A = this chain, B = another copy of it.
Amino acid sequence: MTTQRAKSGRVTIHDLAREAGVSVSTVSKALNDNGRMAAETRARIKRIATEIGFRPNALARGLLSSRSFTIGLLTNDTYGRFTLPVMAGISEALVDHGVSVFLCAIEDDPALGKVHVDAMLDKQVDGIIATGKRIDRSLPVDLAGLPVPVVYAFTAGAPESVTLMADDAQGAGLATAWLKKLGRRRLVHITGPEDFVSVRERAAAFSREAGEDASVLYGVWSERWGHEAIADLWSAEEGLPDGIFCGNDQIARGVIDALRERGVKVPDDVSVIGYDNWEILAEQTRPPLTTVDMNLKELGREAGLMVLALAEGRPTEPGLRKLPCKLVVRHSCGGAGRPE
């Protein structure tokens, strides 16, 4: 306890060895439950280790084991509302394994992307997770052929890689089925730009469930577009919908506001359902928004465990995995109880 520390200021294995009166090899084996030694010695070393607060230097350890217990998260979405839950899931899953996460926002900039990837490789990350905001675009940096495994989440992946995404068809089906179950018959889908593959997937699932004559209105991802769509629909006077499935929560917010301004009651006259479950928005609409949740945190968790498995060389089948969405029921659709 009174012996002096190494000059670095941190307690090293040598300090501990000196304190315990054994060699560093013995200390290492004691702490890692390796090798042969008297149980009493092992226990004593462990006790002294906690007493003097020894914690092994991860740099030194990583140098030898070629495992740094570090992964990189590359993101496009200036940590918007998609990447954030994904990150939370990753971190939550990996902290239990002693893995820390480098966050790198690359902003659609190839040069910045390369800088970050190089920096991470220099730091010997065990793997990389790439995330974006849409599944049909890839990050502006080539991650194929890297010396570490890469997992893609919510962004387009390389051919033989592991890619995770939310199941758009299933999510849209969930929403449409819910509207029908509540007795809504004249359904409309107000959504984002048609060039998003997710938009097309959801629209197809909507049409399948709602009937081919149910119309789909493509636009942009904004509140304003929700307003405009309602203005267009209600200018027709006839064939007005009684159930509206929106492509995201912002559109839904615009739709609900526009309906209120027209004196149309939500959910009495029309049920409205959103997508994303962006809570800060969904909870503040009047009435609070029933919406589809993509389980992004769970997606992040899966991505974290996946990249860890790859880093440890455990067998993992490549390909695209679609994770199910869930319905979050609030008050914008009427009805009660939980979704099936």
Residue ranges of A at the interface with B (Cβ–Cβ < 8 Å): 8-10, 55-60, 62-63, 66, 68-70, 72-73, 78-79, 84, 87-88, 91, 95, 98, 100-105, 112, 115-116, 118-124, 147, 222-224, 250, 257, 261, 280, 284
Report how many copies the assembly holds.
2
**Interface residue from B63, B103, B116, B118 paired with A60 (Cβ < 8 Å):** B63
Interchain CB contact under 8 A, B88 and A78: yes
Between A and B, 10 residue pairs with Cβ closer than 8 Å are A55-B118, A59-B59, A59-B68, A60-B63, A63-B63, A79-B87, A84-B84, A91-B103, A95-B119, A102-B103
Q: Give the CA-CA distance A222 to B8 in the complex, in Å.
A: 50
Interchain CB contact under 8 A, A116 and B95: yes
**Interface residue from B101, B118, B124 paired with A103 (Cβ < 8 Å):** B101
Beyond A105-B88, A147-B10, A284-B223, whether A100 also contacts B123 by CB under 8 A is yes
Interchain CB contact under 8 A, B100 and A101: no
Interchain CB contact under 8 A, A70 and B250: no
Q: A9 to chain B: which residues have CB within 8 Å? A: 147
* Shortest beta-carbon distance from A310 to chain B in Å: 15
Q: A147 to chain B: which residues have CB within 8 Å? A: 9-10
Beyond A87-B103, A95-B112, A102-B100, whether A58 also contacts B284 by CB under 8 A is no
Interchain CB contact under 8 A, B104 and A91: yes
Chain B residue nearest in CB terms to A281: B281
Q: Give the CA-CA distance A307 to B275 in the complex, in Å.
A: 40
Q: Give the CA-CA distance A66 to B10 in the complex, in Å.
A: 11
Q: Give the CA-CA distance A295 to B217 in the complex, in Å.
A: 38
Interchain CB contact under 8 A, A70 and B121: no
Q: Give the CA-CA distance A34 to B22 in the complex, in Å.
A: 40
Q: A8 to chain B: which residues have CB within 8 Å? A: 66
Beyond A79-B84, A98-B119, whether A63 also contacts B55 by CB under 8 A is no
